Amino acid sequence: MAVPHGIVVLDKPAGITSRDAVDHACKRLKTREIGHCGTLDPLATGVLVLVIGRARRLQELLAKSRKVYAARIKLGATSVTDDSEGPITETSPLPPPPTDEQVRAGAARFVGEIEQRPPRYSAVKVDGERLYDLARRGEGIDAPMRRVTVYELQVTRYEWPFIDLTVASAGGTYVRSIARDLGALLGTGGYLAQLARTESGGFRQSEATSLEQLGPEHVLPLENALRHFPRVDIAASQALRLGNGAAVRAEVPPLSLADDSPVFGWVNGHAVALLAKAGPQRVRSSRLLVTLPELQRLAEAELAAAPQQAQRERASYDDDERR
């Protein structure tokens, strides 16, 4: 059976790790070539985007994409793991419960680019070792602070001792750390009681499939995961030059030229490469997403569909190169 290439939008249940979910998907899809785009702790449920086959080439990039969570924080106690799974210590003496105004003002301080310390029980590596491995051996240390981005944080409900939040953040943000730090800011202590990821990389929970239902028919084309990234259409007459590492002419979106946002090259309706900007109206491939024979077939199909237009594009390109 051929290895599938693409993505799966999975609805992870509580009680298993993201690695467990990947292992289950490997069995269901009969391939070991699967990764995920952003860890969900065992406590958490919701959207876990899996990358399969050549789609794994974009795993790191997609893991950084925007994610949205529905979270519940419990005040009045702290947790070794910063969530409900760790040993819980009640805050004593317990101060008066914060007011609604204090809770909302405190939550607002976690919006934007913030400094955050990952939980001691997390997959972050320090000196080559995972923090959770060190913690389980009784050698728990604090990870270095790092900058993360929180786009939005809204308090949807507060009724002591629970705060319900909606959090939209870039990949790498720990909602457990927000729960811990907000509890400390309010003087009561706090930990993450519940967490559901409702969106990841533009995919919503309503689009996700369960582990029990997962099958080959749920593998989506990689193009589905790239729908929110800037796109450059590469002429069929230049496609193989792109595949061979040459710079080619293309209309690059102005916003993409101004920053480091990823841009993808498409040929005949298919994403074929992550592009690097090589100057005004010039791009080259920094990572191919298809094989060279596949790229050639896509180009030939486009040439066959519009041969006269392709010839004009080729002549124009040759003239430009001569100049």
Condensed to tens digits (0 to 9), the pLDDT of residues 173-197 reads: 999 999 999 999 999 999 999 999 9
Whether the per-residue pLDDT at 253 is higher than 80: the answer is no
CA distance 176 to 173: 9
Q: Identify the three-state secondary structure at position 145.
A: coil
The model's confidence at residue 58, banded by pLDDT at 50, 70 and 90, is: very high
The tens digit of pLDDT for each residue in 62-96 reads: 999 999 999 999 999 999 999 998 899 999 999 99
Q: What single-letter DSSP state applies at residue 217?
A: G
Length of the chain: 323
Q: Are 18 and 39 in contact (CB under 8 A)?
A: yes
Do 82 and 125 belong together in one domain?
A: yes
In a domain, 1, yes or no: no
Q: Other CB atoms closer than 10 Å to residue 88's CB: what's the count?
A: 16
Spell out the SS3 assignment of 73-120. Answer: EEECEEECCCECCCCEEECCCCCCCCCHHHHHHHHHCCCEEEEECCCC
Looking at every residue in the chain, the average pLDDT score rounds to 87
The average pLDDT across 40-61 equals 94
Region for 225 from its dihedrals, namely left if φ exceeds 0, alpha if ψ lies in -120 to 50, beta otherwise = alpha
- Phi first, then psi: what are they for 293, rounded to 5°? -60, -40
What tens digit of pLDDT does each residue of 136-161 get?
Answer: 766 667 778 899 999 999 999 999 99
From 120, 47, 49, select the one nearest 83 (Cα to Cα): 120
Q: Name the domain boundary from 161, 185, 200.
A: 200
Active-site residues: which are they? 41
Q: Do 195 and 279 reside in the same domain of the chain?
A: no
**Interatomic CA distance for residues 11 and 204, integer angstroms:** 10
CA atoms within 13 A on the CB side of 162: 11
**Could you read off the pLDDT of 119-137 as tens digits, one per residue?**
877 766 766 666 767 667 6
Q: Are residues 74 and 183 in the same domain?
A: yes
Q: pLDDT value at position 318? A: 46
Backbone angles phi, psi at 50, to 5 degrees: -105, 140
Mean pLDDT over 231-255 rounds to 83
Q: Give residue 235's Cα distance to chain centre.
A: 30
Do 20 and 141 reside in the same domain of the chain? Answer: no
Widest CA span in the chain: 81
> Residue 281: left (phi > 0), alpha (psi -120 to 50), or beta?
left
Average confidence (pLDDT) over 262-285: 87
Residue 160: which CATH number? 3.30.2350.10
Instruction: Specify if 309 maps to a domain.
Output: yes
Residue 300 CB neighbour total at 10 angstroms? 14
More confident site: 152 or 268: 152
The structure tokens listed for 106 are 């405190």
Whether residues 38 and 75 share a domain: the answer is: no
Please check whether residue 184 is in contact with residue 165, taking contact to mean a CB–CB distance below 8 angstroms: no
Residues contacting 227, CB < 8 A, separation 6+:
202
* Residues 89 and 192 reside in one and the same domain: yes
Is the residue at 208 inside a domain?
yes
Answer yes or no: is 175 within a domain: yes
Q: Does 190 share its domain with 210? A: no
Whole-number pLDDT of residue 242:
87
Do 11 and 109 share a domain, yes or no? no
Position 15 pLDDT exceeds 90? yes
Stretch 208-215: mean pLDDT: 95
Calculate the alpha carbon distances from 94 to 84, 89, 206 in Å: 19, 12, 40
3-state secondary structure of 187: coil
Do residues 77 and 166 share a domain?
Answer: yes
Q: Is residue 99 part of a domain?
A: yes
The pLDDT, as a whole number, for residue 307 is 56
320 band by pLDDT with thresholds 50, 70 and 90 = very low
Domain residue limits at 286: 230-322
Per-residue model confidence (pLDDT) at position 235:
86
Helix (H, G, I), strand (E, B) or coil at 63: helix
Do 77 and 180 reside in the same domain of the chain? yes
The predicted model gives 157-178 an average pLDDT of: 96
Of the three residues 172, 189, 223, the one that is the final residue of a domain is 223
Q: How many domains does the chain have?
A: 3
The answer to the question of residue 270 being in a domain is yes
Residues 31 and 115 in one domain: no
Is residue 323 over pLDDT 60?
Answer: no
34: enclosing H helix or E strand: strand 34-36
**pLDDT higher than 80, residue 311:** no
Is 274 within a domain?
A: yes
> 73 with 115, same domain?
yes
| 313 located within any domain | yes
Helix (H) or strand (E) holding 59: helix 59-63
Mean pLDDT is lowest, of 53-67, 205-219, 258-272, 297-311, for 297-311
**Pick from 264, 268, 265: nearest CA to 303:** 268
* Predicted model pTM: 0.86
